[in-house]
A = this chain, B = another copy of it.
Amino acid sequence: MAGEFELIDRLRQQVQSHPNLRLGIGDDAAEVLFGKNKTPVLVTVDMLMDQVHFDLANTDPRLIGRKALAVNLSDIAAMGGEAIAIVVSYALPKGAGDHGTGDQLAEQLHQGIVELAEQHQVAVAGGDTNSWKGPLVISITALGQPVGPKAIERSGARVGDLIFVTGELGGSLAGRHLTFTPRLKEARELVNNYDVHAMIDLSDGISSDLQHILRESEVGAVLHAEQIPIHSDARRSSGDRSPLEHALHDGEDFEVLFTVSPEDAVRLTSHPLLTGTRVTQIGEITAGSEPFLIDQGERRLLTRSGWEHSL
């Protein structure tokens, strides 16, 4: 497969502009305008496949359904949006092994989806259920609307902005990738109280996802190694990576990274979020086009060094 940047560029070229499309391919969600009032609707889709994004044989199907929804809600959060409704499509394996019939599997997946949907007041609006001889595939499309007057894009970061992340990073694949809380409440609180310039959710790791903001905003960045909030899972993770490397490069944290002005950064640092979720300043937006990491006094380029997805 081509690199993600290359693919995004090619798809962008293929599709024409459209009067109802305010924001298309290349952000966490698209923004489409409806009706004579041009009401904005956020829309995003994620497909999860057995043996790529989860391991059906060794996972509670309710957690798989939950994750399929959670990754979509994370995208809506990253737009500064609230989620309104979803539609789900399934390719269900005939004879689902330990999970019984395809129908029983569907019921368990659906249960995981409905539970998380209710927690976030999201309507399950429809679906398409298919059965086949192949492995389980589940695709969810989430619809939302901006909490504020407009969606928060990747392209809004400005030189001098400070960079923040929610939560703690790294080692998600030890289990958190199935149980994380999409940051909808945090995004709402941030958008309602601060002028968030740019935001993205961390699906591939900071070293990869930050580059989307830099590219779309045409800026550079400096991160400070000692400020990166490292999750205890990253310290427990085995392998060649240090805990810091896990925090920088591991995928599937599904925290949000965002930038605000220095004035808002001061306020934000002294006012904890009402949700209790930690918010940490990790660096600043600079002129240039590349991300640097300052680690023990040394400044080096932060490269996208092969993030890990589940499995």
Contact = CB atoms under 8 A, between A and B. Distances in A.
Q: Which range holds the interface residue count of chain A? A: 35 or more
B45 A35 contact: no
A139 interface: yes
A129 interface: yes
A146 to B, nearest CB: 10
A127 B32 contact: no
Contact of A18 (B15, B46, B121, B127): B121
Contacts of A145: 34-35
Contacts of A24: 123-126
A84 B21 CA distance: 9
Given A41-B34, A103-B2, A91 B131 contact: no
24 contacts: A1-B131, A7-B129, A11-B110, A14-B110, A14-B111, A15-B114, A15-B123, A20-B85, A21-B125, A24-B123, A24-B125, A24-B126, A30-B126, A32-B85, A34-B41, A41-B143, A45-B87, A45-B128, A47-B90, A47-B128, A49-B91, A51-B134, A52-B130, A141-B141
A89 interface: yes
A43 interface: yes
| Interface residues of A, dominant DSSP | strand
Most chain B beta carbons < 10 A, residue from A39, A40, A88, A139: A139
Nearest to A10: B107
Interface string A98-135: 00001100010011001001100111111111111111
Contacts of A47: 89-91, 128, 130, 137, 139
A29 B85 CA distance: 13
A58 interface: no
Contacts of A10: 107
